[in-house]
Amino acid sequence: MIERLAFGELAPKHHTVLRDAKGNLRWEECLTRRGFDGPYTIAYHERRPHEHRVASAEHGFALPTPAPQRPLAKRHYRSTSVPTPSGPQIDGRVPLLYNGDVVLGIARPDAPDPVYFSNADADELFYVFEGSGLLRTMLGDLRYEKDDYIYVPRGLFYRFIPDAGLQSWLCIEAMGGIHIPRQWRNDVGQLRMDAPYSHRDFKKPTFVGPMDEGIRKLVVKRDGGFHGFSMEHSPLDVVGWDGTVYPFVFPILNFQPRAGLVHLPPDWHGTFAARGALVCSFVPRVVDFHPQAIPCPYPHSSYDCDEFIFYCRGNFTSRRGVGPGSISHHPAGIPHGPHPGSYEASIGTKETSELAVMLDTFDPLLPTEAALGAEDPGYQDSFIGG
Ligand SMILES: [Fe+2]
């Protein structure tokens, strides 16, 4: 939902006749948000888009289940140590931390999705830690590369076709949707000139027109279950569409970071807003320029936020013992801050090369058994001393 796009054949007005050269009627499909009150896209199909027979699902990824309750503590999980199933992403995602608003997991798909998949429970955001490939939807194709965010709106069916080689993704399901933070838009919805990104920074779908991949199976995730459907024809039969509901790619390095006289809070790194969560991008940047500034994040007790950080690469000035693929989880209720020595050592530094994805969540995040299996047991005590 960045701006309205329009491709292919469109009727001159909504809900009016559109025919092909032989006089065949096109079929509208309205993709709506918040009932009929929010953003929408209207696509025109060659065939009726709602002809589905109920079938077995046969595909689906693991759903989060709670691990036994544990003492409140700062946690570090090495996601690179979490085993993930071989195969397509639809079968291979592993949830690690979750609450009622978000499910945070990983996937390392090594095969294309054999069916179309639609997540009717959540908007989805993937961060490509490693890998590249193609996201295919009826609204067009999107190439993705390492360091890209991939956004897919709730309810849009798609298929991932990864390139050969290692894929490693952070997967975020956002049950209440994902959107551009309101403060980055002006009164007419355009991204503000002083926002940390512009319209040009987002990669939009390349519309390719009707296509038949020979796939006649759709799997829909709804209410925590996977539901299968079969179709008589290819659902990629869209001849045109316009609207603001569509998938996009945002390269994290297109985020334009801020630096201040003194340390700025994470809100300035806010990239995507979700119900109960803010997704922030920490990218290489110059740091605070007051001669006495302490660029390292100050210790803080954010009483209503859990903090989740997925570390990608670079030097993590405030933390020791974390590396690419590390996940730190600092819960509300106890203060968190830099490791011993980091705070003092940061004085006088001019820049940071850190690259990380952070989520602040308002409800507590719970770990899954898969997360516990990759936990660094010495992390809580690693903050003592110095
Ligand atoms: Fe924090």
Distance 330 CA to ligand 1 centre (A): 7
**Residue 141 to residue 134: CA distance in whole angstroms:** 7
How far is the C-alpha of 223 from the C-alpha of 236, rounded, in Å? 25
Q: Considering only CA atoms, which of 144, 85, 126, 128 is closest in space to residue 272?
A: 126
Give CA–CA dist 123/175, Å, rounded.
6
Report how far apart the first and last C-alpha atoms of the chain are (Å, whole number): 47
> Is 233 marked active-site?
no
Contacts 24+ apart (CB under 8 A), 302-305: 302/332, 302/360, 303/332, 303/333, 304/332, 304/362, 305/332, 305/360, 305/361, 305/362
Task: Return the amino acid letter for 92.
Answer: G
Binding residues for Fe cation: 300, 306, 336
Pairing of strands 225-230, 53-55: antiparallel
Q: Give the distance (Å) from ligand 1 centre to CA of residue 309.
A: 9
Interval 209-244: pLDDT, tens: 999 999 999 999 999 999 999 999 999 999 999 999
Task: Report the separation in Å between the CA atom of 127 and the middle of ligand 1, taken as the mean of its atom positions.
Answer: 20
Q: Which of 309, 303, 281, 266 is nearest to 76 (CA)?
A: 309
Q: Which of the following is catalytic: 263, 290, 330, 339? A: 263
Walking along the chain (386 residues) 10 residues at a time, the average pLDDT comes out as 93 97 98 95 97 97 92 97 98 98 98 98 98 98 98 98 98 97 95 97 97 98 97 98 98 96 94 98 96 92 94 83 94 93 91 96 96 95 88
Feature table: binding site: 300, 306, 336
Ligand 1 mean position, distance from CA 299 (Å): 8
Q: What is the pLDDT of residue 381?
A: 94
Sign of the dihedral defined by the CA atoms of residues 117, 118, 121, 124, in that order: positive
Cα of 56 to ligand 1 centre, how many Å?
44
Q: What is the dihedral of CA 32, 203, 174, 309, to 10 degrees?
A: -170
